[in-house]
């Protein structure tokens, strides 16, 4: 299923804000005890970023749905593994990244045809947002990012979805900070080349 | 800090991820390096685009589904697919272990061949093509060589050889500063019943070098070097009777022999073809000892 881009994109200023509850560890414990209000707070705080990351990594809406669900289920099951040293969001991203990697491996082994089909652009449908210059840039960025190789894409999405530091990205991806720097370097260059034609529109926007 | 350019640090520099000492070094480098400044512009442009990456809200149906599952107590993660993969792949353990052992053995072997290889003198235990190269090389030493073709432009030798014999020799344009180190003296074709043999005489740093080459299929069995590969498919030999280094190799059904008195086992002759600086350095630094 391809992503319907008629869906409203979240405003940029809202998307950048990390809503980190100060007592997330306590909320997690409450969730384990069956407190549905605590779960609602945690889920609503993180669902969009978790879903976005899963969608950017998998490029498939159905898989992103499944992975979001699995991520929160794993969060509840493995609460004891979260020691509060890192942000909860960073830990969730790590879960998403691992689940996506598992899914990719599974597809490679069993579903080569389906995987090939999924390579079709997730933003392939003509977007109505083209009417707005700002959205046009955003949609072009989405397309350019989905065309990046998975390793570069993961680093770029983590950086710009939640403004993670290189250290945090390295923890999520399980690689060194130098590797993160290198992947972002290549990602930035590729984006500049792929989107060069939009530079005027971007400058006008800013 | 940098060998040449600061390229790989530019994103980290722009995004404030470098320690101050490194950031100062990059800033200082940027002031004097136009290429890195251009790259920085490109990276800044990429960053300004990436900042427009939209977050895609989770579908509302997912929220209601998750809350319903939580309240019903059915929100449990499926068994990790990674663990399932490993469980399924248990039968692969033995072949996998064998493969790892083979790789380790390969690494050990490679380390061994990386050790200096001692080249022992092998008087006259050479193939006919190598023997021919030695004889012609002695003539070249004494200035007695006869040539059929002596072009002024060394690059024409490849075309002439190909048209006349179907054999390939490659004389690359030498890097700036090296042009005068390699001097072509001429070439000739020896017609034999199995096929033509091409001979090229040249000098490296004034030292004579003789190249003989023939189609391996045109040589009778045993004429082409077929054993004693010592390093990367190049057979290094030293002929003690003439104090000459021999380098033999076969590629794409064509056998080549260099006979020379060049130091370092005559590897300087390789540079008529290998003009890439990095490649030259690797060839020159390879651990081989006579």
At a CB cut-off of 8 Å and minimum separation 6, what does A118 contact? A58, A59, A60, A107
**pLDDT score recorded for residue B200:** 92
Q: Which of B6-20, B84-98, B188-202 has the lowest mean pLDDT?
A: B84-98
Q: How many CA atoms lie within 13 A of A180 on its CB side?
A: 24
Q: Which of A185, A194, A205 to mutate to test the interface with B (most CBs of B within 10 A)?
A: A185
Residues of B in contact with A105 (CB under 8 A): 81-82, 85
| Residue B90 in contact with partner chain A when CB distance is under 8 A | no
Q: What is the mean pLDDT of residues B243-267?
A: 81
| B76: chain A residues, CB-CB within 8 Å | 73, 76-77
Q: Residues of B numbered 10-49 whose beta carbons fall under 8 angstroms of chain A's beta carbons: which are they?
A: 10-12, 15, 17, 39, 42-43, 45-49
Of the candidates B46, B57, B85, the beta carbon closest to that of A189 is on B46
Query: Using one digit for the tens of pLDDT, what is the confidence trace for A135-167?
Result: 778 888 888 998 899 899 999 999 999 999 999
Residues with Cβ within 8 Å of residue A127, at least 6 apart in sequence: A5, A6, A135, A139
Q: Do residues A191 and A145 touch, judged by C-beta distance below 8 A? A: yes
- DSSP designation for A30: H
Count interface pairs A-B at CB distance under 8 A.
Answer: 165
Return the pLDDT at A118.
44
How far away is chain A from the Cα of B108, in angstroms, using its nearest Cα? Answer: 28
Q: Check residue A76 and give its pLDDT.
A: 84
Lowest mean pLDDT among A64-68, B27-31, B191-195, B237-241: B237-241
CA distance linking residue A61 with residue A67, whole number of Å = 10
Report the pLDDT value the prediction gives residue A111, as an integer from 0 to 100: 46
Query: CA A34, CA A53: separation in Å to the nearest integer?
Result: 27
Q: What is the pLDDT of residue A157?
A: 95
State what percent of residues in chain B have pLDDT above 70: 78
Residue of A nearest to B71 (CA): A36
- Indicate the pLDDT class of residue B233, thresholds 50, 70 and 90: low
In sequence order, the 6+-apart residues with CB closer than 8 A to the CB of A49 are A89, A92, A93, A161, A162, B55
**Please, what is the average pLDDT of chain A?**
76
Helices (H), chain B: 10-14, 20-32, 34-50, 60-72, 81-88, 93-114, 128-141, 156-165, 277-285
The pLDDT of residue A107 is 72
Query: pTM (2 decimals)?
Result: 0.52
Probe site for chain A from B26, B41, B55, B60 (most A CB atoms < 10 A) = B55
- Say if B79 is an interface residue toward chain A (CB within 8 Å): no
Mean pLDDT for A64-75 is 90
How much of chain A exceeds pLDDT 70, in percent? 73
Query: Which chain A residue is nearest to residue B73, measuring alpha carbons?
Result: A34
Give pLDDT, residue B14: 92
Instruction: Out of A9, A12, A160, name the one closest to residue B50 (CB).
Output: A160
pLDDT tens, B107-155?
887 766 665 555 555 555 677 888 889 899 999 988 888 888 888 777 7
> Do the chains contact at A193 and B70, CB–CB below 8 Å?
no
Test B62 with A160 for CB contact under 8 angstroms: no
CA dist., res. B123 & res. B132, Å (int): 14
Q: Which of A69-73, A195-199, B75-79, B161-165 has the highest mean pLDDT?
A: A69-73
- Smallest Cα distance from B66 to chain A, Å: 7
What pLDDT is stored for residue A165 in this prediction? 93
Q: Which residue of B has its CA nearest to A142?
A: B53
Shortest Cα distance, chain A CAs vs residue B75, angstroms? 6
Q: Please give the pLDDT value at position B13.
A: 92
Residue contact A103–B58, C-beta within 8 A: no
Is B75 within 8 Å of A9 when comparing Cβ atoms? no
The pLDDT of residue B113: 60
pLDDT of A10 strictly over 80: no
- Which position has the higher pLDDT, B92 or B100? B100
> Measuring CA to CA, which residue among A58, A37, A76, A181 is closest to residue B76?
A76
pLDDT of residue A169: 94
From chain A, the residues in CB contact with B58 under 8 A are: 47-48, 50-51, 68
Q: Predicted confidence band at B92 (pLDDT cuts at 50, 70, 90)? A: confident
């Amino acid at each position: 299923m391809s992503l319907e881009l008629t869906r409203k994109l979240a405003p940029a200023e809202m998307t950048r804000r990390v809503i980190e509850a100060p007592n997330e560890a306590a909320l997690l414990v409450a969730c384990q005890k069956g407190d549905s209000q605590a779960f609602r707070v945690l889920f609503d705080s993180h669902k969009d970023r978790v879903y976005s990351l899963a969608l950017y990594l998998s490029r498939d809406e159905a898989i992103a749905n499944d992975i979001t669900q699995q991520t929160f289920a794993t969060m509840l099951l493995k609460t004891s593994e979260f020691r509060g040293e890192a942000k909860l969001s960073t830990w969730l991203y790590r879960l998403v990244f691992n689940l996506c990697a598992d899914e990719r491996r599974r597809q490679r082994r069993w579903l080569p045809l389906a995987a090939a089909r999924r390579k079709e652009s997730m933003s392939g449908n003509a977007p109505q947002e083209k009417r707005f210059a700002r959205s046009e840039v955003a949609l072009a960025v989405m397309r350019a990012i989905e065309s990046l190789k998975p390793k570069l894409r993961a680093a770029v999405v983590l950086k710009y979805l939640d403004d993670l530091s290189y250290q945090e990205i390295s923890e999520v991806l399980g690689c060194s900070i130098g590797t993160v720097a290198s992947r972002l370097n290549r990602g930035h260059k590729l984006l500049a080349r792929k989107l060069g034609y939009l530079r005027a529109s971007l400058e006008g926007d800013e | 800090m940098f060998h040449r350019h600061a390229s790989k640090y530019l994103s980290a520099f722009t995004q404030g991820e470098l320690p101050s000492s490194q950031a100062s070094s990059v800033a200082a480098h940027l002031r004097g390096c136009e290429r890195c400044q251009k790259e920085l512009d490109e990276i800044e442009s990429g960053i300004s685009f990436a900042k427009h990456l939209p977050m895609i809200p989770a579908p509302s149906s997912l929220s209601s589904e998750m809350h319903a599952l939580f309240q019903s107590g059915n929100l449990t993660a499926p068994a990790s697919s990674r663990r399932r993969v490993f469980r399924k792949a248990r039968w692969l353990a033995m072949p996998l272990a064998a493969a790892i052992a083979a790789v380790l053995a390969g690494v050990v072997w490679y380390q061994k061949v990386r050790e200096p290889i001692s080249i022992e003198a092998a008087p006259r235990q050479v193939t006919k093509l190598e023997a021919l190269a030695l004889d012609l090389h002695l003539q070249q030493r004494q200035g007695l060589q006869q040539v059929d073709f002596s072009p002024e432009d060394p690059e024409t030798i490849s075309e002439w050889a190909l048209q006349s014999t179907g054999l390939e020799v490659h004389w690359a344009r030498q890097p700036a500063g090296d042009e005068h180190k390699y001097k072509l003296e001429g070439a000739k074709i020896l017609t034999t019943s199995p096929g033509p043999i091409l001979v090229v005489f040249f000098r490296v740093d004034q030292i004579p070098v003789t190249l003989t080459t023939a189609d391996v299929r045109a040589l009778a069995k045993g004429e082409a070097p077929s054993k004693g590969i010592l390093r990367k498919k190049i057979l290094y030999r030293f002929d003690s009777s003439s104090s000459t280094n021999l380098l033999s190799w076969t590629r794409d059904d064509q056998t080549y022999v260099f006979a020379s008195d060049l130091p370092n086992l005559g590897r300087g002759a390789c540079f008529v073809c290998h003009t890439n600086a990095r490649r030259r350095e690797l060839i020159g630094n390879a651990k081989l000892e006579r």
